[in-house]
Structure 1
Amino acid sequence: MAENEAAAAPEAAQAPQIKMNVLTQYIRDMSFENILAQKGVQGEVQPDVQVQVNLDAKKRAADNQFESAIKLKVTSKAKGTEDTLFLLEIDYVGIFSIEGIPDEQLHPFLLIECPRMIFPFLRRVVSDVTRDGGFPPLNLETIDFVALYRNELARRQAAQTQNGAQKLDA
């Protein structure tokens, strides 16, 4: 048993200690347009809600500080007529102190783990804004940030492949 513990000790010593703290989070930009109220639509309306998600991350000037942003565009349209009921655009940002992550793992960490940490707070803001705007509160479904990240990598790879093919044709 002592041999197993001794063998495990060097591995534990080599593993980096990851430290992450959410320093702050805030709404950088937000717009809510209640088009239903502006147009004065009458009668019962069945909403069809579309949510677009974009992620962004960057290094800040301070050591070990990074910014991770979730940008949402929520469009609610009336089923059948396709009249827009409301439009919500929000850019929600978290500032993080991150240490101990290897450089090759930092990009996915900033675009997967950091958004995962701030998403519940963004969900609450969206719910409150839609409720205060005169609609039922919109409770966003959980977002699969891993799938979003993989889709973006695949999209970039396809764009690079297509650009390379276009250069060869020219």
Structure 2
Amino acid sequence: MSKTLITFTLNEQPTKIEVEPNLLLVDMLRDRLGLTGTKIGCGEGDCGACTVLLDGKTVNSCLILAVQADGHNVLTVEGLGTYDKLHPLQEAFIAEGAVQCGFCTPGMLLSAKSLLDENPQPTRQEIAKHISGNLCRCTGYAKIINAIEKVAHGQ
């Protein structure tokens, strides 16, 4: 199968890579670029484990072809913060105990970032609605919502 050269911004870095036309964005990120923070869950767009931001909007990277990133901005959890400089959402998730097994955490963080970029002071109900596409089997969501609310209200 012939490959296509795509050029895009990945975690604020210009990126070029040749991809097959049927390669999924999640597979390119994990297998070709080594960004394993983006998880593969259901593979059907139902669980949100593979959530990344494409031009600031949440997308399920298991449903997007890598070629669709051409000319766009992609943000993964690796671009959100680093070990020595955590994003406020990462700090709040840690402080509130909003991470347990951690499988849903990257998608939750990026969904939360998308919400706060769009609506810096959402209500608790708006937070719950916005993260509803991200499934968590460990926390029961309360701690996750508390963490997002903490950042939104500057606590």
TM-score bin (small chain)? under 0.3
Q: How does the TM-score come out when normalised to structure 1?
A: 0.22
Bigger helix fraction: 1
Instruction: Choose 1 or 2 for highest CA Rg.
Output: 1
Bigger strand fraction: 1
